[in-house]
Chains A and B, each alone.
Chain A
């Protein structure tokens, strides 16, 4: 089984390399204008040079930092407020529907409103990212806490647990699957918001790098930037998968599949 998987992976990798070779041929015979599609080697050179000489590295790190900081802020605020609202029937009654009303609003649509109010300085970009990425986790925490198995509250009652213990030992752990799924979604939102804000503000970062490369018709630099964003997307997703595997190992395989670990 594992051997078959290994062979499959190697074959799959070979196919990917074949695609890169095809890409090479396409650029070699100029089937697509090189302004739009740089040869793979040139992309690689742009990547290595950009990282080695600094500007691309600086832009990448700036984007990564914005995204992660914004996301962390969003995690703390989202889960914190969600826990507060989700465990208080009173708050839930008054605030629940209002918070739910924010769900259909795309995070990026908040940018123009927030720019108008707070501007686009460095600190403000962070708050834009945090505010935009906060909603999925806020709503997921509330949902998770609302759908705790009711019998567990009887168990808690029989053990005479106080409110704080019920939240920390029963409520939040049982909301973890929902929260993790939302954290994954929020990471993607944070990456997109960081990039859009960089495009709009011109602050150093991959968003600005991409826009600048496109304006200069420097497709190799553009592709290098896209590649790095892809790697960020891949890595953050992979990290979430590892986290879910570990934190949700108590789920039966069937449930785990439904939770979207696969």
Chain B
């Protein structure tokens, strides 16, 4: 039920943005939002509890992380010597599929890590520089995503 309210609010907000909150579009927006909620529950059933306030808490860290990621890669691109030492690591993860995709997307925007999906329950992570300790952020981010869907994790902040 909570998932329905969350999604209805999200789609209604997107509709308001797209139409510039024009009152003439409210009726159509109601119908479209309802259809969008139905379709989204069909395609992505709400299997896990989702903590919106955790997401709000997490958002600033995500923005800071993605800024650091962009600065890091820009410095490497402009540096004359190209300080790169690319390599792969595998990280075991017991997150459910959707949460693992969210973690992968997030890590792909953080400094130095790029997720290439998973195989046999392990995340496949490409590191831009295997000496820079980028992989230290992975368990931290995983704990944060686990907390979003209401899973306590040892070592969570």
**A and B bind:** no
Give B contacts to A, CB under 8 Å.
none
